[in-house]
């Protein structure tokens, strides 16, 4: 399929691989699009997996509502469930990078009966990120989240520096040019930035408070270039999940609202983090293990933030390994 719909919105997708293969949904980050996965999917398809990479809400021209509330996490999760339903998959594997990783974590926590496995790139568990904001340099790395709450100015500022930002942080000229063409004007960044503007107020309050301190000592996140994808540590020991997902629910019946109490992720999970990531630091990455009770593999690589583009072979290997090991 080339598109799917939900609540009057039309999402563009790239659907590849055998139609009868296990479904792997690939969720991109910010500011990217579904082409982030174009060097990852060939290996997955060759392994017999069906891959669907959507341009998510705010990135698909037919699915870019104006209201900030339209970008709340419950909507982002429901979009993915609608995609899986359109593909005819009751259970599916989820891979997410950056903001797509945040959606992946939330899917695994809120609807584990639908998610066969998680592979998350770069992004720690959201509660690990919040924890690290108060106990590490993560607030300094994340100051831009508070700045993005301003109207208009963030779009203009980011658009003016976009090409240089991509290249300095590890993308090739070809990859940077592709994304520059995807966001040709400041206005084209408004819907993607609404993901930040719809963040829960409790998270924003922390970010704003801590950003006040960090801005005085830094003009922005560091832009370390991406390193070669050699692994700097081995995976942590696997842990068996004590819960087995049910297969009997449908998207219409599922509740994707925030849980009433904190829980851990029971879905089999691989988390890949680059030690040279300019946006997401070690404290949150290592804390994530405490929030996963299912089988868990942590892979640290000597690389930067853009793992799908810069480390495609390694990413494909880890996805395939996780999918093959899932019950």
The string of pLDDT tens digits covering residues 124-139 is 999 999 999 999 999 9
Domain ranges, residue 21: 3-136+225-325
Do residues 60 and 38 touch, judged by C-beta distance below 8 A?
Answer: no
pLDDT value at residue 241: 34
Across the chain, mean pLDDT equals 87
200 falls within a domain: no
The string of pLDDT tens digits covering residues 53-74 is 999 999 999 999 999 999 999 9
69 falls within a domain: yes
- Rounded Cα–Cα distance for residues 327 and 316 (Å): 19
184 falls within a domain: no
272 falls within a domain: yes
91 falls within a domain: yes
How many domains are contained in the chain?
1
Q: How many residues does the chain have?
A: 327
Of 88, 116, 89, nearest in space to 104 by CA: 116
Phi then psi dihedrals of residue 169, to 5 deg = -95, 5
Do residues 229 and 314 touch, judged by C-beta distance below 8 A?
Answer: yes
Phi then psi dihedrals of residue 318, to 5 deg = -70, -40
Question: Which residues in the chain come in under a pLDDT of 50?
Answer: 202, 211, 214-255, 257, 260
Do residues 269 and 108 touch, judged by C-beta distance below 8 A?
Answer: yes
Q: Rg for the chain (alpha carbons), in Å?
A: 18
207 falls within a domain: no
pLDDT value at residue 222: 37
The CATH number for 291's domain is 3.40.50.1820
The string of pLDDT tens digits covering residues 241-298 is 333 333 333 333 344 545 545 679 999 999 999 999 999 999 999 999 999 999 999 9
Tokens of residue 170, six digits = 């590890």
Phi then psi dihedrals of residue 67, to 5 deg = -65, 135
pLDDT value at residue 252: 37
246 falls within a domain: yes
Do residues 293 and 265 touch, judged by C-beta distance below 8 A?
Answer: yes
Q: Record the pTM.
A: 0.84
- Rounded Cα–Cα distance for residues 239 and 281 (Å): 24
pLDDT value at residue 175: 98
114 falls within a domain: yes
Beta strands 115-121 and 92-97 are parallel
């Amino acid at each position: 399929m080339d598109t799917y719909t939900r609540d009057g919105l039309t999402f563009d997708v790239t659907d590849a691989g055998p139609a009868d293969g296990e479904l792997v949904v690939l969720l991109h980050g910010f500011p990217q699009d579904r082409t982030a996965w174009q060097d990852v999917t060939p290996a997955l398809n060759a392994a017999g997996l069906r891959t669907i990479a959507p341009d998510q809400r705010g990135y698909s021209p037919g699915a870019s509502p104006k209201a900030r509330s339209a970008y709340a996490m419950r909507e982002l999760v429901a979009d993915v469930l609608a995609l899986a339903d359109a593909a005819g998959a009751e259970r599916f594997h989820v891979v997410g990078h950056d903001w797509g990783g945040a959606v992946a974590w939330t899917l695994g926590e809120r609807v584990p009966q639908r998610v066969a496995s998680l592979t998350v790139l770069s992004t720690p568990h959201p509660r690990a990120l919040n924890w690290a904001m108060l106990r590490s340099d993560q607030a300094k790395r994340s100051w831009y989240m508070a700045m993005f709450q301003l109207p208009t100015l963030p779009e203009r500022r980011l658009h003016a520096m976009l090409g240089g930002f991509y290249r300095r942080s590890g993308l090739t000229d070809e990859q940077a040019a592709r994304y520059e063409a995807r966001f040709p004007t400041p206005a084209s960044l408004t819907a993607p930035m609404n993901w930040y503007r719809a963040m829960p107020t409790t998270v924003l309050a922390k970010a704003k408070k801590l950003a006040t301190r960090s801005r005085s000592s830094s003009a922005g996140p560091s832009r370390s270039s991406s390193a070669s994808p050699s692994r700097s540590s081995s995976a942590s020991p696997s842990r068996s999940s004590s819960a087995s997902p049910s297969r009997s629910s449908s998207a219409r019946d599922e509740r994707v609202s925030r849980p009433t109490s904190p829980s851990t992720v029971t879905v089999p999970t691989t988390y890949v983090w680059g030690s040279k990531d300019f946006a997401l630091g070690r404290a949150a990455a290592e804390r994530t293990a405490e929030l996963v009770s299912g089988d868990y593999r942590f892979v640290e690589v000597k690389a930067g933030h853009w793992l799908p583009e810069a480390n495609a072979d390694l990413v494909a290997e880890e996805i395939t390994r996780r999918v093959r090991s899932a019950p």
